[in-house]
């Protein structure tokens, strides 16, 4: 099936008409930008790859009234699609230090009328005195580095939901030398090279 709203609907049958409409507008905003927000190779796979991959996270956020941060949000993936669905029930923070991209994210918030969503225009490691219930990241950094910059943002029961690819095994080997944590790997059923790693109970290793 060609990349389209119908393709997303087939992958996620419960996606609402309002969500589809806002994602369509969001796609137009991404493509209209004079800055390169996504790879040219991905322009024709926004629905089936980027939007679907982002919304897979909804499966792991069961409760409401959460503080959710998207680290290195970039074009807003996965934070903007998550906000479109969950913004009225959770507080979404899009962490992006690059000026042009943070400006784009503010336009998304305004034009898509995203509720309870705001931009944090700095690097995650510079955030002070803030903690979050869920930490998201997609195509940002190696796992060991992500744990390092996320550690001080974690509450006792914080869950990290990180998109990872074919190198996840080697990243885990490196990360477990420095950190102790519980994790589950959730493979994308439509792309065997794509995963969401669900991580809890991060503790610095004493060795």
CATH fold group of domain 62-204: Rossmann fold (3.40.50)
The pLDDT profile of the chain, 207 residues, written as one tens digit per residue, is 788 999 999 999 999 999 999 999 999 999 998 888 887 777 788 998 899 999 999 999 989 999 999 999 999 999 999 999 987 899 999 999 999 999 999 999 999 999 999 999 999 999 999 999 999 999 888 999 999 999 999 999 999 999 999 999 999 999 999 999 999 999 988 888 899 999 999 998 865
Dist CA 48 CA 42 (whole Å): 10
Dist CA 80 CA 178 (whole Å): 32
Nearest to 168 by CA among 189, 193, 148, 190: 193
Q: Mapping DSSP to helix (H, G, I), strand (E, B) and coil, where does residue 185 land?
A: strand
CB neighbour class for 47 (10 Å; exposed up to 12, middle 13-18, buried from 19): buried
């Amino acid at each position: 099936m060609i990349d389209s709203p119908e393709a997303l609907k087939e992958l996620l049958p419960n996606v609402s008409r309002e969500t589809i409409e806002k994602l369509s507008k969001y796609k137009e905003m991404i493509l209209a930008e004079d800055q390169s927000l996504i790879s040219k190779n991905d322009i024709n796979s926004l629905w089936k790859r980027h939007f679907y991959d982002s919304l897979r996270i909804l499966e792991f956020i069961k409760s409401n009234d959460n503080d959710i941060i998207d680290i290195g949000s970039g074009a807003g993936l996965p934070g903007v699609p998550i906000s479109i669905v969950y913004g009225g029930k959770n507080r979404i923070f899009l962490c992006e230090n690059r000026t042009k991209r943070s400006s784009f994210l503010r336009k998304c918030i305004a034009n898509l009328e995203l509720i309870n969503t705001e931009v944090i225009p700095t690097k995650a490691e510079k955030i002070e005195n803030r903690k979050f219930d869920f930490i998201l990241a997609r195509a940002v950094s190696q796992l060991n580095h992500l744990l390092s910059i996320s550690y001080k943002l974690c509450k006792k029961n914080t869950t990290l939901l990180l998109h990872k690819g074919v190198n996840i095994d080697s990243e885990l080997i490196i990360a477990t030398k420095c950190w102790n944590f519980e994790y589950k790997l959730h493979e994308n059923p439509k792309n065997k090279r794509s995963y969401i790693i669900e991580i809890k109970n991060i503790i610095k290793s004493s060795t």
